[in-house]
Amino acid sequence: MKVRQLFYFLIGSGLIISASLEAYELKPSKFENEKQAFRYEHSYLALVADDFKELSAPLDTTGIGMQQKYHKSPVKAMLLSLAVPGLGQYYYGSKTKSALFLGAELTSWALHIIWHKDGEDMTADFEAYNRQHWLPERYSHYLELAYYGYTDDEDIPTAGDSARGISHHLPNTRTQQYYEMTGKYNQFAWGWDDAVLNGDSLSDYDESNPPYKIVNESTTPYSARRLLYEQMRADANSKLDNANKMITVAIVNHLISGFEAYFMTRHCNKHAAEPGLFSRLNFKADLKSFHAVKDTPYFMMTYKF
C-alpha cells in the first residue's frame, strides 16, 4: 500500500504543479513584443532617412516571435510526464514517444489489474481448499496424544521436553497467518486429513501408542494435499507479487518519461534558438564615387558561419 500511495501522491503533485505552471508560464508579454517591434522599426526608419548611407535589410521581428512561440518549458514538460507518461513528450512535439510511454503506462496498469484479480481468485481457492482438508480438530487431537493432554499449543509449557516441536501458535481465527502456518510448518502436518507416518494415520494412534512429536523430517507425516496446497498458495502469491511489480513498473515509467521530457525539451529549445540559414545572410546597398560623387550603386551580400 505504501508504493501505491506514493504513486498517487506523485500523480497528484504533478498535476497541481503542472496546472500552476500553465497559469504562470513564462512567455513574452504584449508590452515586450510591442517594445521590440517599435525598437527595430525606429532603427530602420532612421537608416532610411540618412540618405541610404547605411541601408541594410531591416530585422525581421516575426523571427523573434517565432522563436518565442516555439520555446517550451522543460520543467513543465517533466511535470506533465510525471503526471501522465507521454504527455510531456506530446507537449514538446514527439507523438511517437508520447504513444510509447502512454502505452507502457496503460499496459502496466492493465496487467496489474488482471494479475491482482487472478491472485485474489487463486487465494480464495487455496483458502477454500484449506478449510476443506486441514481440520483444526485433527491438530488438537494430535496435541492431546503427543503432549500429555494439551489440546491448545498455547497451553503447552515452554520449558522442558514438553515444548519440543512447538515453535508457533495457531491463530484463533482464519487470518492470513493462519493459512500460511498450516501449510508451511511441519508442526501442523497432522491437521491434514490424508496425513500418514510410516503407513499409519492419526486414527491408528491412541494414549497407549501416541504419535511422535514432530521435531524433524523423520517424524513429520506425509500429506499429498499439503504439498498441493503449498503449490496453490505459492502460485497465488506469485501472481500477486507480479501485480505489485507492475505498480513499480508504472512508477519507473513516470520517472523515465519525466526526465526524458525535461532533457529533450532543453535539447529542442537549444536547437530552436540557433539562427537559421537566411538569418545568417546580410545584405547591404550603397553608392560609391568613381567618376563623380556617388555615381555608382553597389550591392554586397555576406554570410556568417
Higher pLDDT: 71 or 108? It is: 108
Q: What is the pLDDT of residue 305?
A: 54
How many angstroms separate the CA atoms of 187 and 193, rounded? 15
Q: What is the pLDDT of residue 120?
A: 98
The answer for residues whose C-beta is within 8 angstroms of residue 129's C-beta and 6 or more apart is 225, 228, 229, 232
Task: Tell me what percent of the residues of the chain surpass a pLDDT of 90.
Answer: 58
Q: Is 143 exposed, middle or buried (0-12, 13-18, 19+ CB in 10 A)?
A: buried
Res. 135: pLDDT tops 90: yes
Q: What is the pLDDT of residue 163?
A: 75
Q: What is the pLDDT of residue 175?
A: 96
- Chain mean position to CA 25: 27
Tell which residue, 36, 25, 24, 22, has the closest CA to residue 65: 36
pLDDT digits (tens, 9 = 90+) for 249-275: 999 999 999 999 999 999 988 876 555
Q: What does R_g of the chain's alpha carbons equal in angstroms?
A: 40
Res. 158: pLDDT tops 90: no
- Please answer whether residues 221 and 197 qualify as being in contact, where contact means their C-beta atoms are separated by less than 8 angstroms: yes
Pairing, β 281-288 against β 196-197: unpaired
